[in-house]
Amino acid sequence: MIFFIVIAELGRFLLLHVFRVSKDKICVPRIRRIVGCVCATLIMCISFWGVVNARLVRVTPYDVTINKEARDENGQKMDSMKIVLVADLHLGYNIGVRQVQRIVNSINKQDADLVLIAGDIFDNEWEAVDQPEELEKILRGIKSKYGVYACYGNHDIQEQVLAGFTFGGQKEKTSSPEMDEFMEKAGITLLRDEGVLINDSIYIYGRRDAHRPGNGVTDRVSADEITKNMDKSKPIIILDHEPKELEELSSAGVDMDLCGHTHDGQMFPGNILVAMMWENSCGYLNVDGMHNIVTSGVGVFGPDMRVGTKAEICPITVNFK
């Protein structure tokens, strides 16, 4: 509404003061009614499209090369691995069983070796999650050769939400026990500043959120501390909700950093604004040899719509050399 009202007022200003159109021709009730009807129609049509667009799960593929060797479960050299990156489900008020089923169907079409979820699985309030048992069952159906791993984001804490804004809550920002239990029942391995070694060959490390590390933790593990005891001759893949500390991670020897959080602004002109706030607000960026991929996510926060952005999953073909 604000966007179209500003455009209409700007048009009126230009006609009056730049093109010198007579005020008697445009500042009359009939013209105002026409302009008002046009604005209202455009607002309704684009809002309707935004709601529909938010439910369409697109596939955005990437192809990267890590100049390191990797091996499969039999100890044989791997030429490549397919990782599916997902983020920002925001299970709760807007995202439920139907959308999660669409997401899982899209993931399973990719024949993934590994599925990684980069935070904001929940939308703050556990009470907003409808049919959790059914959601667990659907998420357990994700097909992935080496499993499903996730990190928490800034919304994976128990906090009340009103009109898209959080308020109140505990002094210590923590996830609820129900959230943690849900993850376990859904077959998703949660990584909280901890990592796993796939096939004794590939490191997967999940970071705590930069602003809300949760569970009484005030400072998360630094980039240098993450890789301090790792064998850097092996591929190192980081799962981090917010695309922060890219230079630090690259300097620490990380090969690929996978993120979400930004929603690519979710609604135009939000995508323009977030591009000014983040080094990589959405898409691919090479940071001194480290691959950084930020997905716009599959869910929504606040308004149940996407305008000028897309809900997506990102299959990433990782080539090893």
Provide DSSP, 135-204.
HHHHHHT--BTT-EEEE--TT-S--EEETTEEE---SS----HHHHHHHHHTT-EE-SSEEEEETTTEEE
Strands (E), the chain: 57-59, 62-66, 80-86, 114-118, 148-151, 160-162, 165-167, 189-190, 194-198, 202-206, 236-239, 256-259, 283-287, 290-294, 311-320
pLDDT at 295: 98
pLDDT tens for each residue of the chain, 321 residues long: 888 889 999 998 999 889 888 888 888 899 889 999 999 999 999 999 999 999 999 999 999 999 999 999 999 999 999 999 999 999 998 999 999 999 999 999 999 999 999 999 999 889 999 999 999 999 999 999 999 999 999 988 877 766 656 665 555 567 789 999 999 999 999 999 999 999 999 999 999 998 887 777 778 999 999 999 999 999 999 999 999 999 999 999 999 999 999 999 999 989 999 999 999 999 999 999 999 999 999 999 988 999 999 999 999 999 999
149 & 266 share domain: yes
195-219: burial string, b at 16+ Cβ within 10 Å, e else? beebbebbbbbbbbbbebbbeebee
CATH number of the domain at 110, please: 3.60.21.10
Q: Which residues contact 244 (CB under 8 A, 6 or more apart)?
A: 210
pTM above 0.85, yes or no: yes
42 & 78 share domain: no
Task: Report d(CA 305, CA 47) in Å as an integer.
Answer: 7
CA 13 to chain centre: 39
Backbone angles phi, psi at 319, to 5 degrees: -90, 140
pLDDT at 213: 77
Decide if 210 contacts 244 (C-beta within 8 A): yes
Structural domain total, the chain? 2
Backbone angles phi, psi at 52, to 5 degrees: -65, -45
Give me the domain span that covers residue 62: 57-320
Q: CA torsion angle for 189, 192, 194, 198 (degrees, to 10)?
A: 20
Of 162, 201, 175, the closest CA to residue 302 belongs to 162
Q: State both tokens at 131.
A: 């049919």
32 & 78 share domain: no
Decide if 167 contacts 160 (C-beta within 8 A): yes
pLDDT at 169: 53
22 & 140 share domain: no
Task: Report d(CA 83, CA 258) in Å as an integer.
Answer: 10
10 & 107 share domain: no
pLDDT at 159: 74
- Whether the CA torsion 295, 298, 299, 305 is positive or negative: it is positive
127 & 221 share domain: yes
128 & 181 share domain: yes
316 & 239 share domain: yes
Task: Report d(CA 43, CA 40) in Å as an integer.
Answer: 5
159 & 302 share domain: yes
pLDDT at 24: 82
Q: State both tokens at 318.
A: 């990782």
170 & 229 share domain: yes
Task: Report d(CA 261, CA 281) in Å as an integer.
Answer: 9
Q: CA torsion angle for 110, 111, 117, 123 (degrees, to 10)?
A: 60
205 & 114 share domain: yes
Q: Which residues contact 18 (CB under 8 A, 6 or more apart)?
A: none
283 & 309 share domain: yes
Q: In what order do the strands lie in the sheet with 290-294?
A: 194-198, 202-206, 236-239, 256-259, 290-294, 283-287
How many residues are given for the chain?
321
Please provide the distance, in angstroms rounded to a whole number, between the alpha carbons at the two ends of the chain: 52
